[in-house]
Amino acid sequence: MTGRLSGILAAARARAAALRPRRAALRREAAAAPEPPRWDAAFGGTEVAVIGEVKRRSPSTGAIAEQLSPAAHARAYVSGGAVAISVLTDELHFGGALGDLDRVRRAVTVPLLRKDFILDEAQLYEARIHGASAVLLIVRALEAAALRELAASARELGLARLVEVHGPDQLDRALEVAPDAVGVNARDLDTFAVDVDGIEPVLRAVPAEMIAVAESGLASRADVERVAGWGADAVLVGTAIAASADPAAAVRRLTGVPRVGRRIARVGPERHR
């Protein structure tokens, strides 16, 4: 693996390795955690769903909203019409923390996505303990066997799986693990370059019965309308709303776009929770 992703993953592997001695204790705590809101309940509407992201900074942009209050931003997002909240928990590169999940869980009742570089089962236990309804699994970051194992473990824990792809070559790998949703990221994680036009064929190829989420490079209603025309059922938006002086209004401007759907349904795996 080359490019900027390799360095990010090296740090993520070190964090994951540090958790392994605590895996059994984390498993027990996860089993006793309260049931989170259902992820799939947020995506049954006729309009493109907006997932608002709590995001302080990023490796590509730098500082976005370093002093944001996760709870206040989450409440503003929901007030503006967001159906779910993505919470970045990577501290080194994004300024996030697991504690942000706790704060957001106490502040809102919508489903939460733990967005991080998930490489080990112990991180799934953490997500469940801290109130997440779903986790992000990145095809580019995981070997096929690891992706299968993490997807299966997440399902057993009652965590929905948003499996992220960038190009069409990764879509089949994502579908093999029966994801609850497919995220199509316009950002190349090796270079951090964003090409929203480049995700059109990937979005159109997602099976019609599966939730397709457009990610990265989306800042305006026109952007949401464009990806909706390609079949996006939802959008995940971070920088544009996290940096806004009025996050509720920023989200509201993105809502109300009708879902178009995808005309050609591929034969896909059975959908799960």
Q: What's the mean pLDDT when you consider all of the chain?
A: 93
- Percent of the chain with pLDDT strictly greater than 90: 85
Cα–Cα separations (whole angstroms), residue 239 to 7, 218, 224, 228, 249: 22, 9, 15, 20, 14
Identify the bridge partners of residue 182 per DSSP, sorted by sequence position: 163, 212
Cβ contact 212:179 at 8 Å? no
Rounded CA separation 247/79 (Å): 9
The 8-class DSSP code of residue 41 comes to G
Q: How confident is the model at residue 62 (pLDDT cuts 50, 70, 90)?
A: confident
Assess whether pLDDT exceeds 80 at residue 273. Answer: no
Rounded CA separation 164/273 (Å): 17
The model carries a pTM of 0.93
Q: How confident is the model at residue 261 (pLDDT cuts 50, 70, 90)?
A: confident
Instruction: State whether residue 193 is helix, strand or coil.
Output: coil
Cα–Cα separations (whole angstroms), residue 206 to 21, 36, 147, 216: 38, 27, 18, 17
pLDDT digits (tens, 9 = 90+) for 155-201: 999 999 999 999 999 999 999 999 999 999 999 998 899 999 999 99
DSSP letter for each residue of 43-105: G-SSB-EEEEEE-SEETTTEES-TT--HHHHHHHHHHHT-SEEEEE--HHHH---HHHHHHHH
Tokens of 199: 């995700």
Reported residue count of the chain is 273
Residue 2 is predicted with a pLDDT of 52
Residue 51 amino acid letter: I
- 3-state secondary structure labels for all residues of 114-150: EECCCCCHHHHHHHHHCCCCEEEEEHHHCCHHHHHHH
pLDDT digits (tens, 9 = 90+) for 63-96: 898 889 999 999 999 999 999 999 999 988 889 9
> Domains in the chain and their CATH numbers?
4-31+47-252 (3.20.20.70)
Residue 186 is predicted with a pLDDT of 97
Residue 263 is predicted with a pLDDT of 62
Residues whose CB is less than 8 angstroms from the CB of residue 166 and which lie 6 or more positions away in sequence, other chains included: 139, 140, 184, 185, 187, 188, 189, 202
Q: How confident is the model at residue 7 (pLDDT cuts 50, 70, 90)?
A: confident
Longest C-alpha distance within the chain, in Å?
Answer: 48
pLDDT digits (tens, 9 = 90+) for 105-153: 999 999 999 999 999 999 999 999 999 999 999 999 999 999 999 999 9
The 8-class DSSP code of residue 189 comes to T
Cα–Cα separations (whole angstroms), residue 178 to 146, 156, 181, 212, 268: 14, 13, 9, 13, 8
Residue located via tokens 């709590």: 54
Instruction: State whether residue 164 is helix, strand or coil.
Output: strand
| Cα Rg, the chain, nearest whole Å | 17
Read off the pLDDT of each residue in 236-244 and give the average, rounded to a whole number.
96
